[in-house]
Amino acid sequence: MGQVSNRFFVTSIKDGTLVTAAIYSDTTLAQLITPGTNASSPDWTDPNEQPTVWCVVRAGATTKAPSSFKWYLNGDEILFPANPTTGTASTNFDGIFKWANVTVDGETCAALKIAGNIITITNQDNDVLTCSGYVEYNGAQIEYTVNTTIRMSTLSGSGYYGWISGDSYVTSQSASAVMKARLRTADGTVNNFFTKWYREGIDTSQPFATAQSANGGETGVAQVSILGSQITDYVVMRVDYYESSSSTDILYSAYWDVDDMEDDEEMYMCSYVVNNVKGGLDVSLREGQSVQMLVWMGKRGDQTNIDARYQVAGSTYKCRILDSEGATITNYTDSGVTTGSGSLVVDANGFLNIKSSAITIPGVTGTKVGGSIIIPATFADAHGGKLTGIVVVTA
C-alpha cells in the first residue's frame, strides 16, 4: 500500500502553475513538562537536542529559493535583526529561535533553530509554527503559507516519553534516511530499551526493523535507516518502545515522517475556475466564481503517464482544507463545497472524501479516476480569504 500527499493554495496557483510548500524538522516537534521540577523533555536548551526546522518551496517539481519569507509562532512574527547570520537569536520570544542556513537541491531555504524550551507550566497547549512568503516563478510573485504543530503536554511521574530525530527525506532511491529513537521518564533518560519500527499502512504483521538502544554506538539511542527504494513517495514511521526484546507491553509509541523527493511517482493538480468570464486557469476568485481542483497520480515529469494503482476502486483521495489561520475546517454546512463523492462527510482528522468516478485529465484521452473538489469564493471569503488544501491518496 502506498500513500502520497500534497498541498494546494488557492491564492498561489496562477495560470496552471502549482506551488507547494512543506516544513521539515530534524527532530520531533514535541515537548513535555514534568510537574514539580518543571523539567522539559526534550530539553531544547541542550545543543544536542535542538530542532532545526526548514521550509522547502517547489514550483512544479523544481525547488525554489523564496524571494521573501517570515516565520510566525501562533500568529506572532518571529523577529530577527536585519541581515542575520547563522546563530543570530530572535529579538522576541526571549531569543528562543535562531537563524539557520539549510540548502536543498542547491537552493537556500527559510530555516530556523529552536534553541530554547517553548513549553512552560502555564503553556501546555499545542503551538503552531508558520512559514509564509513569496517565490518568483515565470516573473510572477506567488504567495505560499504552510504550518506545522509543536505538540506539548504533561509527563507524569510514572510515564514514558519517546521521540525521534534524524533525516526527514531522501533524495534518491539508494539514499538512506537515518532515524534515532530516544526514551525518557520524568526521572531522566532511559538508556536501555528495545524498539520495533513500522511503516504505517505497510508493515502490519511484522516490523520493518528492530533495534536495541546503543546499536548505533550512542548510549540511549536506537538507530535504524530506510532506503528511498523502500518508500512510496512519503511514509510515516511508527516506533514502539519496549523494556527488552522479550517484552510484550509497549511503553510508548512515536512517529516520524520521511519524504522521498526523487520518487518517480507524483501527485498532479489542475485548477479550473467555474463561471469564469475570462476563461483560462486562474484561482484569484471573484464574486460568484468557484475553483475546481482536479487531482491524479502520474509519473514525475509526465502527467499523462497515469499510475494504474490509483485507478482502481480501492484507491481513495481525501482533502483537508485549512483556513487563513491554519486551522482545519470541519463545518461544511451550506458551504457550497462539492466533491465527486456525493455527500460531504468529515472524518476524525478533518478529511473529506473527494474520490470521483471519472475526471478529464489535460492531455489524456478519455476519463480517468481522480479527485475532484469545487470550492466557491464565498467559502474562501468566510474563512479569511485564503485556503490551503492538503490532499492525500492511498492505493
pLDDT tens digits, 194-204: 999 998 878 88
pLDDT bucket at 233, cuts 50 / 70 / 90: low
**pLDDT at residue 314 tops 70:** no
Give tens-digit pLDDT for 328-386: 899 999 999 988 766 788 888 788 888 766 788 777 887 788 888 888 888 888 888 77
Q: Choose one of 263, 280, 296: the last residue of a domain.
A: 263
Let me know if residue 56 belongs to a domain. yes
Give tens-digit pLDDT for 165-178: 888 888 788 889 99
Let me know if residue 8 belongs to a domain. no
Let me know if residue 215 belongs to a domain. yes
The residue range of the domain holding 221 is 157-263
Confidence (pLDDT) at 2: 45
Q: Choose one of 263, 298, 328: the last residue of a domain.
A: 263
Let me know if residue 2 belongs to a domain. no
Q: How many domains does the chain have?
A: 3
pLDDT bucket at 222, cuts 50 / 70 / 90: very high
Q: Are residues 87 and 180 in the same domain?
A: no
CA-CA-CA-CA torsion sign (105, 103, 128, 144): negative
The backbone torsions φ and ψ at residue 333, rounded to the nearest 5 degrees and listed phi first, read -65, 125
0.75 surpassed by pTM: no
Q: What is the mean pLDDT of residues 174-185?
A: 90
Which of 309, 382, 366, 372 has its CA nearest to residue 338?
A: 372
Q: What is the mean pLDDT of residues 32-43?
A: 76
Q: Choose one of 263, 296, 314: the last residue of a domain.
A: 263
Which amino acid does the sequence have at 260? Answer: D
Q: Name the residue with higher pLDDT: 108 or 389.
A: 108
- Mean pLDDT lowest for which of 178-187, 235-244, 361-370? 361-370
Let me know if residue 194 belongs to a domain. yes
pLDDT bucket at 52, cuts 50 / 70 / 90: very high
Let me know if residue 1 belongs to a domain. no
Give yes or no for a cis peptide into 42 (omega within 30° of 0). yes
Q: What is the mean pLDDT of residues 244-249?
A: 90
Q: Are residues 327 and 386 in the same domain?
A: yes
Confidence (pLDDT) at 249: 86
Q: Are residues 134 and 149 in the same domain?
A: yes
Looking at beta carbons, which pairs linking 367-371 to residues 24 or more positions away fall under 8 Å? Answer: 368/296, 368/306, 368/311, 369/296, 369/310, 369/311, 369/312, 369/315, 370/294, 370/295, 370/296, 370/297, 370/310, 370/317, 371/293, 371/294, 371/295, 371/296, 371/317, 371/318, 371/319, 371/339, 371/340
- List the grid coordinates of 383: 474563512
Q: What is the mean pLDDT of residues 210-230?
A: 88
pLDDT bucket at 119, cuts 50 / 70 / 90: confident
pLDDT averaged over every residue in the chain: 81
CATH number at residue 35: 2.60.40.1930
**pLDDT at residue 308 tops 80:** no
